Amino acid sequence: MLAHSADECAPAAELHGLSQAEAFLDAIFENIPHMIFVKDAERLAFSRFNRAGEELLGMPRSALLGKTDHDFWPPDQVEQFVQKDRETLAGGKLVEIDEEPIQTARGLRWLRTKKIPLLDAAGVPRFLLGISEDITEKKQIYEELLRTREELEQRVIERTAQLSRLNEELSQEVTERKHAEEALRKSEDQLRHAHKMEAVGLLAGGVAHDFNNLLTVITGYVATLLSDGGTSPAMRDDLTQVSRAAEQAATLTRQLLAFSRRQVLNPEVLDLNLIITDLGKMLRRLIGEDIHLQVRLSARPALIKADPGQIEQVILNLVVNARDAVEGGGQITVESSHVEVSEPGRGGSRANVMLSVRDTGQGMDEETRARIFEPFFTTKERGRGTGLGLATVYGIVQQSGGTISVSSELGFGSTFKVYLPVTREELRLEPPLAESAVPVGCLISVLLVEDEEMVRSVARRLLERHSMRVVEAENPQQALAIFRARPDDFDVVVSDVVMPGMSGPAMVDELLLLKPGLKVLYMSGYTNNALVHQAVTERGFVFLQKPFVPSELVRKVQELAAAAAALSSGSGPRS
């Protein structure tokens, strides 16, 4: 028997008790703050409804009782309600619906509903009890929370990505910065090195200049004494020793000049491969038998414009150093090749010939490597090295418009690379030198211009001893005055290059105006490369490097005089 359907047929005695119980139950039913409804199992029509249900749906229960879902809600929704109702009744147990929407007079609401079958004594479902909680607000809050969480998560993802991007940029910046600092440090080192070499070069050049003048005087007087019939044999021996020492000193100053880039070069177009080939035999002899020499030449001719004697010196010095480094067996490789060297400043690249000399010797540590091009830097024992080899190489390469680099590690050998610009000019075969005959019985007359008194007098003595007439001028102005008065008196002018007040070449320009075809011999121990190059090499004058071998001076003046005589006999008799 079901409690709520009992009121109609309850006996009076029980009625009071029942109605009290029913009133109590009613009060509970009415006051529960969730919608409670009862449907009959047959039609699913509403048979009871509480106050919370009225408030939720916005309808009085009078409008609901006896009606079914069909009377209030759209068919597809009704179908879902009915399906759950039937499921509950058929299953005979509680069914929970977590959330379901329902259209009410107050708008769309969300419910969490529990449906419970009410069975009779025989266990047959008679009614369906429904309890629905209005979860609309809760759901909104929950959804809001979800959205916020998603947003937060999204933001975290974005920030993380941003941070890792920034981190990457930062680490890239740090790397770039490190590279830049490294490059800066390197270029500062190079600059410092270049300045140091420049300063040492100036000093070396200055010393060489003064020494050359002194050596010219020494060798000049020694030569004079040696050719003097009155000199005794004992003195002759002593003088020969002096002469030898002077010759050695002259070799030293020549190397210093090479380093300070102040020697006179006679650049010509040459094939580096031919030079290496020609030197080959000598190199092999030089390095001995227990060292293997390998020569690898570029397939194409390696054309450069340089002084062949100087380039030979470069190769020799590098190979001798390599030999000293591989003492006791090893390999030396001399190689030529064509390489493009990029020129950052000019935004392009330059075609170069590269000469490389590699050895499998002892190598160098950082400290040694930093100083090898300094003059007089040597690690060799006394008497074995002067430390001028690489200084000379450095000067020659620089003066020839090239660069030199070295890579080496202690115990792992060394490689020297010399880069020289490829020339576009063509290789020329030298025309054979014209035979020059000294006119016999003809007095040669020389104008000698030299500001160094000692050099001037030794040169005069040397020339006079060979029956020449010498007029001295101690500076260009004086020379001009003498020459102007009697231009036809002189066959040859012998002049220093650098003199106070006016340079030798500037003076010669004026002399040439007075006497075109005048023969000139320059002599100098200290030469400004550009000046000499322009005034001497390019114009075909003859140059004598101080300190000179006395006989060389005489021979050259004689040759010039012969050429002058040939010229004037070709253009008419001399007055």
Out of Mg ion, ligand ATP, none, what residue 419 binds, judged by CB under 5 to 8 A for its kind, is: none
* CB 466, min distance to ligand ATP, A: 37
| Beta carbons within 8 Å of 294's beta carbon, 6+ residues apart | 331, 332, 333, 334
User: Which residue is associated with the tokens 């105006």?
Assistant: 513
Quick check: 389 binds Mg ion (CB under 5 A)? yes
* CB 315, min distance to Mg ion, A: 12
Of 387, 401, 439, 487, the one binding ligand ATP (CB under 6 A) is 387
Cα 442 from Cα 447, distance rounded (Å): 16
Whether 221 contacts 454, CB under 8 Å: no
Count of residues binding Mg ion (CB under 5 A)?
2
Whether 544 contacts 552, CB under 8 Å: yes
Q: Which positions from 303 to 322 touch ligand ATP by CB under 6 A, shown as an x/- string?
A: --------------x---xx
Out of Mg ion, ligand ATP, none, what residue 273 binds, judged by CB under 5 to 8 A for its kind, is: none
Quick check: 52 binds ligand ATP (CB under 6 A)? no
Cα 349 from Cα 338, distance rounded (Å): 13
Rounded to 10°, the helix 389-399/308-325 angle is: 140
User: Which residue is associated with the tokens 């002194």?
Assistant: 214
* CB 218, min distance to ligand ATP, A: 23
3-state class (DSSP) for residue 430: coil
Segment 452 to 471, residues that bind ligand ATP, using CB under 6 A: none
479: phi then psi, degrees, rounded to nearest 5: -60, -45
Give the strand pairing for 95-104 and 107-119.
Answer: antiparallel
Does residue 233 have a cis peptide bond before it, meaning omega lies within 30 degrees of 0?
no
Of 222, 250, 303, 325, the one binding ligand ATP (CB under 6 A) is 325
Q: Which residue is nearest to ligand ATP (CB)?
A: 389
Quick check: 362 binds Mg ion (CB under 5 A)? no
* CB 359, min distance to ligand ATP, A: 5
| Nearer CB in complex with Mg ion: 68/317 | 317
Quick check: 258 binds ligand ATP (CB under 6 A)? no
* CB 333, min distance to ligand ATP, A: 12
Quick check: 391 binds ligand ATP (CB under 6 A)? yes
> 14 is written with which tokens?
């029980």
Quick check: 414 binds Mg ion (CB under 5 A)? no
Quick check: 361 binds Mg ion (CB under 5 A)? no
Provide the 10 A C-beta neighbour count for residue 452. Answer: 20
Quick check: 212 binds Mg ion (CB under 5 A)? no
Q: How far apart are the first and last CA of the chain?
A: 169
> Using H for helix, E for strand and C for coil, what is the string for 457-521?
HHHHHHHHHCCEEEEEECCHHHHHHHHHHCHHHCCEEEEECCCCCCCHHHHHHHHHHHCCCCEEE
Quick check: 414 binds ligand ATP (CB under 6 A)? yes
Q: Which residue is nearest to Mg ion (CB)?
A: 389
* CB 461, min distance to ligand ATP, A: 34
Of 321, 352, 392, 414, the one binding Mg ion (CB under 5 A) is 321
3-state class (DSSP) for residue 1: coil
3-state class (DSSP) for residue 541: coil
Whether 404 contacts 418, CB under 8 Å: yes
Whether 271 contacts 427, CB under 8 Å: yes
* CB 319, min distance to ligand ATP, A: 9
Of 41, 223, 264, 390, the one binding ligand ATP (CB under 6 A) is 390
* CB 547, min distance to ligand ATP, A: 20
Q: Which positions from 342 to 381 touch ligand ATP by CB under 6 A, shown as an x/- string?
A: -----------------x-xxxx---x---x----xxxx-
524-to-17, 138, 376, 450, 544 alpha-carbon distances in Å: 148, 108, 24, 10, 7
Of 44, 217, 246, 388, the one binding ligand ATP (CB under 6 A) is 388
Positions that interact with Mg ion (CB under 5 A): 321, 389
Positions that interact with ligand ATP (CB under 6 A): 317, 321-322, 325, 359, 361-364, 368, 372, 377-380, 385-391, 414
